Copies of this chain bind each other. A is one copy, B any other.
Amino acid sequence: MTNSIKTKIKRVPKNAVYELERINDIIDNNFICHVGFIHNSSPVVIPTMYGRKENFIFIHGASVSRLIKNLEKGVEICIAITKVKALVLARSAFNHTLNYESVVFFGKGNLVAESDKLGSLKVISDHVLKHRWEEVRMPNQKELKATKVIRIEIDESSAKVRSGDPQDSKSDYSLDVWAGVLPISNNFEAPIADAQLKKNIGLPKSIEILFGNGKQ
């Protein structure tokens, strides 16, 4: 992994993370990214699901979608993955900030070949919810045809992480202002069965393991 001028973090460099393992952790703790590309000379940003396998991100979509039609051409893209974990409330307005984890990387997409499509879709499914792939009806030929998968190498990537208490100016610590962190939850909550679910179908393994074997 190289860090050219494009991904070198200039602002607040103490928040920068360049270690591959930590970057992969951040990628694996999320499943939504924002993909930026240029379409008709204008910037476009589209949120979408992804999965990671090794040094690659996989994105899927309808074959006819603007996202896929651009990415399969191999245009330059920028991908941002962001999780906000808390508001950081300082004593001064100026030092308010967020605790967050963020990865940004640049690359180009490659259309996944038909023969690899099913395996790549499994990568995305496993990334979002492990074991779900084994529980569901597999895509048929018509569904596979309607879907394309794009593979992007995670090459020039960099991450920023901020955590912990606010950092106020020294003289502000004596102010009578409450300061601290206001965490933001980001967890799966108890599942809600489909109104049309057949009777006597229990929770699947993919959900049970999220809640400690169904204890919830």
Contact = CB atoms under 8 A, between A and B. Distances in A.
Interface in A135-168: 135-140, 143, 146-147, 165-166
A172 B11 CA distance: 51
A198 B185 contact: no
User: So how many copies of this chain end up in the complex?
Assistant: 2
Interface stretch (A13-21, A38-46, A51-59): A38-46
Contacts of A143: 92-94
Nearest to A202: B178
Nearest to A164: B195
Nearest to A66: B10
Q: Of A91, A175, A188, A194, which is in contact with the most chain B CB atoms at under 10 Å from its CB?
A: A194
Interface of A: 6, 10-11, 32, 34-38, 42-47, 49, 62, 64-66, 76-80, 82, 84, 87, 89-94, 96, 98, 100, 102, 104, 106, 121, 125, 128-129, 132-133, 135-140, 143, 146-147, 165-166, 172-198, 201-204, 206-207, 210
